Structures are given as structure tokens and as C-alpha cells.
């Protein structure tokens, strides 16, 4: 929980870690940060994000008056797909996170990043959570996928497979790419909410781009502190839903016996769209950039 968020600090979370958004207490500066980020990303994402993402933005009218009021979002979102957005004080335990998703509740932080550090994000803020994630929850198939993921996550607790489920979320919900008739596009929230990674994920020579395979993804580690070394690509949200709807129990039992993959690895049997040079990671990535400042 950010120390500069007194509104959150004064609240005692409920048993499910939910708190009030208290939208009326956002400052003009905080609303201004949302507007700046929104306008910047809309310029970057044209021709890069998938059509379903833009449709969701339009359905929810997320550019209306700074930071969205969850009460207004939920009136629209619940009618569309039965989902709602709730506020939490920060990262919450896996069990409660999965329970919220399984019951069509998406959790969002309340705070927004500092106006002087628009590209620095030590943990997800409301812009990442809402601009990045919520638009696709207006789309029925993706909305069903997120519910199925939550139910699969609860099941994973019985098999000590949280790590594997985290990888699935990371490489799809956060950093997924999708093939469309217009070309390859972004749908992952971690990409669409990032100016630099929106460009890097589609256009840089460095990362691998490999077709999605459920078991392959669950066996593959990821970078949590920098741009990804591999992006997994789906052909449709139906493909994602079909892969996730299966009973994961046999997979959970098999995974501990299988080899773990590094983020940069290309394996026999992979459908490779582009084999990356890995020049960005090998050159030090953000660590090198930070050292130069």
C-alpha cells in the first residue's frame, strides 16, 4: 500500500479486503494524471491494441472526467457481463484474489501514480487496473475467461500450483498478444497501460513471439521487473477460453515432473512468429538505464 495515500490508510478493509473508493476525495492533480495518461496511451495504442479493447473503452466511457467513479462503471459493466470493479488497499492474498475473480469482481487499487513519475510504477495503480484491465471485461468471452481463471486459481490452491497459475495470468491477462485480421495486436493490461512496452512488444527485435500453449505457458518463468523476453500470442479469446475451461487437475499433477523454462527459451514444438535477438535483456534492460541516470 503506498504511503502517500491517506484515504486508504484511514480505512479498515473488509474480510475480503475490499474498501470504499471514496472517489469524491481525489484531487484535481490526481484526475489530471489520469487524463494525461489516458491521452498519451490513446495516441500510442492506435493500430496496436485490439478492437475489443477500444470497444470496451467506448462502452464504459473511461475518458469522462478524470479517474473513473466505480459506481458509474459498475452500472454499465454489470449490465454487460455481470462484472463489477471493487477497490482494495493493495496486493491481496491469492485465495481472496481468486475468489473475487470467480465471482466476477475485479479488484483495483485506489491510488494513482505520481505526476512526476508517469512511467515508474512499483505496484499496479488505478490507471493500470482500470484502463488496462476493465475494458475487456465488457466482452463476454474474455469476461468468461476471467471467471474461469479465478475458479482455476482456487483449484490450484489444492495442488500447490499458484506459481503456474500466476504464469498463465502474466502471459495472457497482463502481457498477451492476439492475431487479428488487421495484424498482431495487444490485449494484455500490462502492455496497454505502458507507453514503452506497447511499442516494444510488437515492434522490437529483442523479444520472442510464440503461439500460446497452456502447458508451455505454465512451465515458463517471466520477468516481473522489465519488458518481457517472450510474448505468447493467441488467435482469439475463444481459444483462450477453451484452454482454460478444462479441468487443470491432471496438468497440476504433471507439471512438477516437467522442466521449467527460462523467459527467453524457444523449445522444440513451439510455433514461433519471431525469434528475438534478446539484445534488450542482454544489454541490461531497465537496470542499465537506471544506472545511467
Burial 122-157 (b: 16+ CB within 10 A, else e): eebbbbbbbbbbbbbbbbebbbbbbbbbbbbbbbbe
Longest pairwise C-alpha distance within the chain:
54
Query: What pTM was estimated for this model as a whole?
Result: 0.93
* From 2-16, 37-51, 118-132, 268-282, the region with the lowest mean pLDDT: 2-16
Reported as a single tens digit per residue, the pLDDT across 49-89 is: 999 999 999 999 998 879 999 999 999 999 999 999 999 99
What is the pLDDT, as a whole number, of residue 244? 87
Query: 161-194, pLDDT tens digit by residue?
Result: 999 999 999 999 999 999 999 999 999 999 999 9
pLDDT at 6 over 50: no
pLDDT in tens, 222-252: 999 899 999 999 999 999 999 988 889 899 9
Give the pLDDT mean for 282-293: 63
Q: What is the pLDDT of residue 2?
A: 35
Lowest mean pLDDT among 22-26, 123-127, 134-138, 268-272: 123-127
As a dihedral over the C-alpha atoms of residue 31, residue 224, residue 244, residue 203, rounded to 10 degrees, the angle is 80
The closest alpha carbon to 22, from 113, 126, 137, 121, belongs to 126
Instruction: Express each pLDDT in 189-214 by its tens digit.
Output: 999 999 999 999 999 999 999 999 99
Q: Where are the domains of the chain?
A: 13-292
Higher pLDDT, 77 or 121: 77
Q: What angle do CA 115, 229, 2 make, to 5 degrees?
A: 30
1, pLDDT greater than 60 = no
13-292 domain in CATH 1.20.1050.40? no
What is the C-alpha to C-alpha distance for residues 229 and 225, in angstroms, rounded to an integer? Answer: 11
Helices (H), the chain: 6-9, 28-45, 51-60, 70-81, 94-102, 126, 140-156, 162-169, 189-192, 195-203, 214-218, 237-244, 249-254, 279-282, 285-292
CA atoms within 13 A on the CB side of 27: 12
SS3 of residue 73 by DSSP: helix
Please tell me the predicted confidence (pLDDT) of residue 246.
Answer: 83
Helix (H, G, I), strand (E, B) or coil at 93: coil
Q: Is the pLDDT assigned to residue 286 strictly greater than 80? A: no
Residues whose CB is less than 8 angstroms from the CB of residue 41 and which lie 6 or more positions away in sequence, other chains included: 131, 192, 193, 195, 198
Q: How confident is the prediction for the chain on average, in pLDDT?
A: 92
Residue 293 has pLDDT above 80, yes or no: no
Residue 120 has pLDDT above 70, yes or no: no
* 253, three cell numbers: 499433477
DSSP for 203-225, please give it: H-SSSEEEE--HHHHHTB---SS
**What end-to-end distance do the CA atoms of the chain give, in Å?**
27
- What's the alpha-carbon Rg for the chain, to the nearest Å? 19
Amino acid at each position: 500500500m503506498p504511503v502517500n495515500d491517506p484515504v486508504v490508510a484511514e480505512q479498515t478493509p473488509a474480510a475480503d479486503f475490499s474498501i470504499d473508493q471514496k472517489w469524491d476525495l481525489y484531487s484535481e492533480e490526481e484526475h489530471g494524471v489520469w487524463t494525461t495518461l489516458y491521452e498519451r496511451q490513446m495516441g500510442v495504442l492506435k493500430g496496436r491494441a485490439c478492437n475489443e479493447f477500444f470497444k470496451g473503452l467506448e462502452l464504459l466511457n473511461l475518458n469522462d472526467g478524470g479517474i473513473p467513479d466505480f459506481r458509474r462503471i459498475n452500472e454499465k459493466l454489470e449490465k454487460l457481463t455481470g462484472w463489477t470493479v471493487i477497490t482494495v488497499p493493495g496486493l491481496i492474498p491469492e485465495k481472496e484474489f481468486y475468489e473475487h475473480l470467480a465471482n466476477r469482481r475485479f479488484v483495483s487499487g485506489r491510488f494513482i501514480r505520481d505526476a512526476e513519475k508517469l512511467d515508474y510504477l512499483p505496484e499496479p495503480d488505478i490507471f493500470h487496473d482500470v484502463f488496462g484491465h476493465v475494458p475487456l471485461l465488457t466482452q463476454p468471452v474474455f469476461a468468461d475467461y476471467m471467471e474461469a481463471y479465478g475458479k482455476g486459481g482456487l483449484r490450484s490452491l489444492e495442488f500447490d500450483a499458484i506459481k503456474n497459475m500466476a504464469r498463465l495470468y502474466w502471459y495472457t491477462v497482463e502481457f498477451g498478444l492476439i492475431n487479428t485480421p488487421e495484424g498482431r495486436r495487444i490485449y494484455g493490461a500490462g502492455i496497454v497501460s505502458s507507453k514503452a512496452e506497447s511499442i516494444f512488444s510488437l515492434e522490437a527485435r529483442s523479444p520472442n513471439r510464440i503461439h500460446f500453449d497452456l502447458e508451455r505457458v505454465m512451465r515458463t518463468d517471466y520477468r516481473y521487473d522489465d519488458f518481457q523476453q517472450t510474448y505468447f500470442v493467441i488467435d482469439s479469446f475463444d481459444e483462450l477460453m477453451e484452454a482454460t475451461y478444462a479441468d487443470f487437475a491432471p496438468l497440476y499433477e504433471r507439471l512438477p515432473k516437467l522442466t521449467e523454462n527460462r523467459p527467453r527459451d524457444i523449445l522444440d514444438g513451439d510455433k514461433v512468429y519471431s525469434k528475438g535477438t534478446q539484445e534488450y535483456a542482454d544489454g541490461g534492460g531497465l537496470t542499465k538505464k537506471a544506472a545511467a541516470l
